[in-house]
Structure 1
Amino acid sequence: MGILGVTIFALGIAVSIALHEAGHLVTARVFGMRVRRYFIGFGPTLWSTKRGHTEYGLAALPFGGFCDIAGMTATDPLTAEELPLAMYKKPWWQRVAVMSGGIVVNILIAIVITYFVAVLAAIPNPYADRTPRVGELSCTSDQVDAENVADCTGTGPAGRAGVHVGDELIAVDGQRVDSFYDLRDYVMERPGETVNLEVRRGREELSIPVALDSVQRIDPTSGQTFAAGAIGLTNDAMASFGPLEAAPASLRFTGQMMRATAEGLVAFPGKIPGVVASIFGAERDVSGPVSVIGASRAGGELVERSMWEMFWMMLASLNIFLALFNLVPLPPLDGGHIAVIFFEKIRDAFRRVRGLGPGGPVNYEKLMPVTYFMASLLLVVGVFVMVADVVNPVRLFG
């Protein structure tokens, strides 16, 4: 099952990349541009076929893909037949639409995946209060198998101690609580102990001692049981939806994923030193960047445990990452091309104010040092992440 999961997730990544490039191809053709090549992968060609004016193919290095559109820049050599179909000769908004085509497709893939998971299983509730607020007081009981716990009654440790639904969690034993995961991880390591829970109730802050229960849990890796602390608090974390209500819920949750991904991209450069250190034995940051290798391995772990909802949502999240990463306004990314187009548009607006004509296409040869630098940087970072995913991979389940 693990190998199956790795294979399916790797295939999902390949399909996502193929559809991204198809977004460029289709929009280019809609606006009458000539598409020379549509390839998945880089490097030596493994297979190709020609249909009309376009060569379709697979290349040896499966780390992306490309859609070669005639005249993407004014320095692109063109045949006499290609000249009137050149991309740089088209209106600015058409060029932006073509460069945004792949980004839009990745976002649509994420929305579609989220929709079907919301209808067929459950997604993180997009309408839930994301502050660590008590949504429900529950009893605690032993785990009987990988997915189920024994029946129980009562309000559980937190309810007995005086915690109320709606209380906002502030800290546990003086340690700040930012999410339910923080509290869960802390109490699991303290079966039978008493912890001091600080909560905010309206304008009042309370300190409530809670005697934790000791329950049996099953280690997902070894299958062995162990004693874990339990506090009996939950919030409205997951939700399933009907076919109609799933549409707005999927859009809302996709938006939340986009915001979280944007924050992750901002933090991305700061996580690279940790990835490099992990190659030499340092602990790997679970929230750090992973490559195709690491993502596929994680997908295998999820399938091995029949956690298909998380599998598909991870693929949806990956598509959001591909979309936003390509929006970064630096060449050779799509966002770099879009930034150049907007620069030309803004520059020409200022020239009109001065009574001058359009300034013509940007000379991409002057941007080549930036392009080469960024391409080299992405390659080096990618190699480091892939090596880390081989020698010290991120493990979802220990």
Structure 2
Amino acid sequence: MLAYIIGVVLFALGICVSVALHEAGHMLTAKAFGMKVRRYFVGFGPTVFSWRRGETEYGLKWIPLGGFCDIAGMTALDEVTPDEAPRAMWRFKTWKRTVVMSAGSITHFILGFVVLYLMAVTMGLPNLGPVDTSPVLASTSCARPATTEAQAQDTSCPPGAPRPAEAAGLRAGDKVLSVGGKPVATWTEMLAAVQATSGPTAFRVQRGGQTLDLTVDVPKVQRWTSAGVKEVGMIGASPQRPAMTTQYGPVAAVGATFSFTGTMFAETAQRLVEFPERIPAVVSAIFGGERDPNTPVSVVGASRIGGEAVEQGVWVLFFFLLASLNFFIGVFNLLPLLPLDGGHIAVVWYERVRDWIRGLRGKAAGGPVDYTKLSGITMVLVLIGGAVTLLTVTADIVNPIRLQ
């Protein structure tokens, strides 16, 4: 239990640090361009302590959930003092405002990349997705019928059950090259070839530096599959599983991390597309339905999974989740929806394109976008976001996703 609590605290702390650095990204880029940053605080609620350095107040709030960076004149509606007016953010060039607004997400991407790189050179990067293993035997067992899913998961061997692979001389570590004269390159191909045959069948295997020809007497047995019970050939053998992670040297880890990051961006984009259709499953889970492990999780749920990972000693999963969350927050925050940073970027570029079109027509540039006209849409999006957050937090409390 202590390890679980430590894991939860560490993961929650990692998230808080990520969000604090997100706001620091806004602050540093704003200062670099000459914008005035009034305040930079970590957390929300009452102030624990603060100090002023130069023109900026720094501090810590009691609720360690996020933070904020107060930049003078982020929109034309923000009140600014006469001395702040020349440095109001909305007066700066479009590309500078875009850099400042996107700096938070870029910070998340950098953090995710750094975490993955450190994983690559220490504990290794996870091997994602289904990996079709090489047709190498890990062990031999028996060929027995199984007409239910529970029986198919049972790996025990009843007395007298035939052991075709063992009887033919196949051993752990043997790599199957062909079955019945048909070459096989993966375990799936070998399995399909075995299931389609019966009786004495020629197997060509590689054992060390030798190539051996063996004959396996393949029996037909009744086996449960997702498509129903079928009669298939079976030799009684299991595959060598690929390593859970792959470790790299300091140089090779750079390319591997970039490649892995690209895969994670693709996965994150897919998750965002599927996000709305998974909400009903979250509601179902709250009212007693089985929790789908692919449903969205809140910070609470992610922290609980992180705690379980530490409790079980699976640090690879802990850091992988932390990197994944950084990528998700970074991508999500760039969606062109107010009040997200992506929404503000969309408004900035709308102004830029609008003024360019007006210039082509011989007209003067228009004024800044009136955010009051967007307040209705913004409020709806805030309410939807709040509702989704409440649903996921509730589900993560009453019916959380757990590690197997």
Q: TM-score range by the shorter chain?
A: 0.7 to 0.9
> Counterpart of 1:105 in 2: which secondary structure?
helix
Q: 1:117 maps to which residue?
A: 119
CA contact (8 A) 1:140 1:156 kept: no
Cα distance, 1:367–1:285 mapped onto 2, change above 3 Å = same
Distance 2:47 2:267 in 1: 37
Written as runs of structure 1 = structure 2, the 5 A alignment for 1:324-339 is 324-339=331-346
1:165 aligns with 2:185: yes
> Counterpart of 1:330 in 2: which secondary structure?
coil
Counting matched residue pairs gives 341
1:281 aligns with 2:288: yes
Cα distance, 1:299–1:170 mapped onto 2, change above 3 Å = farther
Q: 1:90 maps to which residue?
A: 92
Letter in structure 2 aligned against 1:137: V
Structure 2: any 5+ residue segments left out of the alignment? 142-170, 193-220
Written as runs of structure 1 = structure 2, the 5 A alignment for 1:186-205 is 194=223
- Bigger Cα displacement from structure 2, 44-53 vs 370-379: 44-53
> Counterpart of 1:140 in 2: which secondary structure?
strand
Written as runs of structure 1 = structure 2, the 5 A alignment for 1:111-190 is 111-125=113-127, 132-140=131-139, 153-155=172-174, 164-166=184-186
Cα distance, 1:272–1:64 mapped onto 2, change above 3 Å = farther
CA contact (8 A) 2:29 2:99 kept: yes
Cα distance, 1:378–1:141 mapped onto 2, change above 3 Å = farther
1:80 aligns with 2:69: no
Q: 1:318 maps to which residue?
A: 325
Distance 1:86 1:261 in 2: 34
CA root-mean-square deviation: 3.0
Letter in structure 2 aligned against 1:394: I
Letter in structure 2 aligned against 1:85: R
- TM-score w.r.t. the length of structure 2 is 0.77
Q: 1:268 maps to which residue?
A: 275
Q: 2:157 maps to which residue?
A: none
CA contact (8 A) 2:4 2:310 kept: yes
Percent identity of equivalent pairs: 45
> Counterpart of 2:344 in 1: which secondary structure?
helix
Structure 1: any 5+ residue segments left out of the alignment? 143-151, 173-191, 199-206, 214-230
Cα distance, 1:56–1:138 mapped onto 2, change above 3 Å = farther
Distance 2:323 2:17 in 1: 12
Distance 2:34 2:191 in 1: 60
- Bigger Cα displacement from structure 2, 286-295 vs 324-333: 286-295
Letter in structure 1 aligned against 2:12: A
Distance 2:298 2:383 in 1: 16
Distance 1:108 1:193 in 2: 53
Distance 1:91 1:268 in 2: 35
CA contact (8 A) 1:132 1:169 kept: no
Q: 1:23 maps to which residue?
A: 25
- TM-score w.r.t. the length of structure 1 is 0.78
Letter in structure 2 aligned against 1:139: A
Cα distance, 1:168–1:366 mapped onto 2, change above 3 Å = farther
1:335, distance to aligned residue in structure 2 (A)? 0.5
CA contact (8 A) 1:155 1:232 kept: no
1:239, distance to aligned residue in structure 2 (A)? 1.3
1:390 aligns with 2:390: no
CA contact (8 A) 2:135 2:175 kept: no
Letter in structure 2 aligned against 1:292: V
1:366 aligns with 2:365: no
> Counterpart of 1:139 in 2: which secondary structure?
strand
1:64 aligns with 2:66: yes
